[in-house]
């Protein structure tokens, strides 16, 4: 029967917006990982003992396994858990829960999270989240017992699936800066069209007269007038009756300008990986609010806005 061989290292794109409850639920998974990796470690040592001492059995296997746990190539059990601030200051604990309830966390501004457990080279796990590492969550899982390893991976991937950002938020965070220049240029052009005053020209005046004449219909008595207008337009004749009239641009341009400004701000202020503990709590709240505002509220208003006038008329009836 075949086996599915998974890679050892996995990476997941952010931005990761994680709060206290998210890390508490992660701790439950880490506890089970530690427990199951230790069981896999015992299986590895038992297999090693059986190969090293052919014919060994019963109580002797148990005794030899306990002795071999601390001998080469084993005996390297280590566990690390910490949050790190931007100045490389670390807040260390035996578990996430221990760090989360630590009073020092209230004055801390974590930028990086790291946890690792090592029983042997063939039974180890680590997970890290670094704000400065492309907003990616990364974990490594190596387990001697293939079945236990698959179960641990499924458990961890389930947590990641629940906490990972929506695909549009991920793309927004990663690629928002790539079209800032285009949006800024569009905003400038739309502002010039929407807000700079414009005046009718002599040509506009003559063409307006021609349109009115066409609407009424060119009859026998208006042929001379039509020919005169054609000649005036052709030679760009300056009509003595022409008076410039100030005109405002179509409202659609001002709406497009406002929309382009929103896009520009959104491309600059993008959600970034935030460990919402300590001083980062308010920052995390802002990013979650901003994400909903940009991805749901504003698009909904833009879709509804063309129908607002009709809705207001209907409401007043």
Name the band, by pLDDT with cuts 50, 70 and 90, for residue 246. low
φ and ψ at 164, to 5 degrees? Answer: -70, 155
296/278 Cα distance (integer angstroms): 28
pLDDT at 101: 87
Tokens, residue 160: 């990641």
Q: How many CB atoms lie within 10 A of CB 72?
A: 7
268/265 Cα distance (integer angstroms): 5
Q: Is it the case that residue 1 has pLDDT exceeding 50?
A: no
Averaged pLDDT, 34-46: 92
Averaged pLDDT, 290-295: 89
pLDDT at 151: 93
pLDDT at 135: 82
Q: Which has more confidence, 36 or 262? A: 36
pLDDT at 3: 57
pLDDT at 202: 64
Q: Which is nearest to 45 in space by CA: 66, 31, 16?
A: 66
What interhelical angle do 223-235 and 202-216 show, nearest 10? 160
Q: Which helix (H) or strand (E) holds 177?
A: none
Q: Is it the case that residue 70 has pLDDT exceeding 70?
A: yes
Averaged pLDDT, 164-192: 88
**CA 311, 312, 317: angle at the middle one, nearest 5?**
100
102/145 Cα distance (integer angstroms): 35
pLDDT at 141: 95
Candidate ranges 4-18, 155-169, 211-225, 250-264; pick with highest mean pLDDT: 155-169
Q: Is it the case that residue 159 has pLDDT exceeding 60?
A: yes
In the predicted model, what is the mean pLDDT of the chain?
83
- Tell me: cis bond preceding 15? Omega within 30 of 0 counts: yes
Tokens 């308010």 correspond to what residue? 282
Q: In 3-state terms, what secondary structure has residue 136?
A: strand
Q: Which is nearest to 142 in space by CA: 129, 158, 127, 131?
A: 127
pLDDT at 5: 59
Name the band, by pLDDT with cuts 50, 70 and 90, for residue 53. confident
φ and ψ at 17, to 5 degrees? Answer: -110, 95
Q: Is it the case that residue 218 has pLDDT exceeding 90?
A: no
Averaged pLDDT, 166-192: 87
Beta strands (DSSP E) in the chain are 9-13, 17-18, 78-85, 90-92, 110-120, 123-130, 136-142, 198-199, 246-247, 274-275
pLDDT at 84: 92
159/155 Cα distance (integer angstroms): 7
Share of the chain above pLDDT 70, in %: 80
Asked if 213 and 232 touch (Cβ cutoff 8 Å), the reply is: no
* Choice among 117-126, 229-238, 282-291 with the minimum mean pLDDT: 229-238
What interhelical angle do 59-68 and 20-52 show, nearest 10? 120
306/225 Cα distance (integer angstroms): 42
pLDDT at 289: 93
């Amino acid at each position: 029967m075949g086996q599915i061989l998974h890679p050892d290292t996995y990476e997941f794109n952010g931005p990761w917006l994680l709060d206290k409850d998210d890390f508490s639920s992660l701790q439950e998974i880490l506890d089970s990982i530690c427990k199951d990796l230790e069981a896999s470690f015992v299986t590895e040592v038992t297999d090693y003992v059986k190969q090293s001492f052919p014919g060994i059995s019963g109580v002797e296997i148990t005794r030899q396994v306990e002795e071999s746990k601390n001998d080469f190539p084993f005996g390297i059990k280590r566990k690390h858990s910490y949050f790190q601030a931007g100045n490389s200051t670390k807040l260390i604990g035996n578990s996430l829960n221990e760090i989360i309830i630590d009073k020092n966390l209230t004055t801390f501004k974590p930028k990086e999270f790291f946890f690792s457990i090592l029983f042997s080279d063939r039974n180890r796990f680590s997970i890290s989240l670094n704000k400065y590492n492309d907003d990616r969550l990364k974990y490594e899982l190596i387990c001697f017992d293939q079945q236990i390893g698959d179960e641990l991976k499924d458990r961890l991937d389930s947590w990641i699936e629940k906490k990972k950002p929506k695909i549009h938020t991920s793309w927004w965070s990663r690629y928002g800066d790539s079209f800032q220049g285009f949006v800024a240029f569009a905003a400038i052009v739309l502002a010039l069209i929407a807000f700079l005053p414009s005046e009718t020209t002599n040509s506009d005046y003559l063409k307006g007269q021609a349109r009115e004449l066409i609407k009424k219909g060119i009859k026998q008595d208006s042929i001379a007038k039509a020919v005169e207008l054609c000649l005036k337009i052709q030679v760009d004749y300056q009509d003595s009756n022409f008076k410039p009239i100030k005109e405002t641009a179509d409202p659609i341009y001002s709406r497009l300008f406002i929309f382009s400004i929103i896009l520009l701000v959104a491309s600059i202020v993008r959600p970034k990986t935030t460990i919402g503990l300590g001083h980062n709590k308010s920052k995390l709240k802002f990013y979650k609010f901003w994400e909903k505002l940009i991805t749901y509220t504003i698009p909904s208003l833009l879709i509804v806005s063309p129908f607002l006038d009709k809705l207001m008329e209907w409401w007043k009836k």
